[in-house]
Amino acid sequence: MATPPKKRQVERRPTLETYEEFVANSGIMELAMRLRVLEAQRQALGLAPHDRELLRCPQCGLFEGADDEGVLFTSLKRHSRHDTGLRFEKLTDGRWFCPFCAAKVVEPAFEPPPGFWDT
Ligand SMILES: [Zn+2]
């Protein structure tokens, strides 16, 4: 009995996705939307931000803090956790509006604690 001819193997090369296909298939858009929802929930719960340093107005001294449960507060008295109820309002490019004295406050640069970048 004759053996059947071998099938010719077709070499399959991986196809390159377009950027749009990659974005559509990666799930990154769903992740970004989930992060937006989580950020809105964080704000609604009044929790302190984790994407920036806490603010302090150099003009009047109003500062942000976080209590033991991570809830954001602002105070004018050093070492006080009495919340004024005031919140800094974001302007543009790392600048904020002080709700107490109307000064513009520059967001402090992130300063990692010692050993932050060590692995
Ligand atoms: Zn101020």
Predicted confidence (pLDDT) per residue in 85-112, tens digit: 999 999 988 899 999 999 999 999 888 8
pLDDT-derived band at 11, boundaries 50, 70, 90: confident
- Residue 22: what pLDDT? 87
Q: In one letter, which amino acid is 54? A: L
- Dist. CA 34 → ligand 1 center (Å): 34
- Residue 72: what pLDDT? 95
- Residue 111: what pLDDT? 80
- Dist. CA 15 → ligand 1 center (Å): 57
Question: What's the mean pLDDT in 5-14?
Answer: 70
As a whole number of angstroms, the distance between CA 99 and CA 93 comes to 18
- Dist. CA 58 → ligand 1 center (Å): 7
Beta strands in 9-108 (DSSP E): 63-66, 72-75, 89-90, 95-97, 104-106
- Dist. CA 73 → ligand 1 center (Å): 15
- Residue 116: what pLDDT? 82
Question: What's the mean pLDDT in 2-21?
Answer: 75
- Span 34-71, pLDDT tens digits: 999 998 999 899 999 888 899 999 999 999 999 999 99
pLDDT-derived band at 81, boundaries 50, 70, 90: confident
- Dist. CA 55 → ligand 1 center (Å): 10
pLDDT-derived band at 2, boundaries 50, 70, 90: low
**How far apart, in Å, are the Cα atoms of 62 and each of 31, 45, 69, 75, 96?**
35, 21, 21, 6, 12
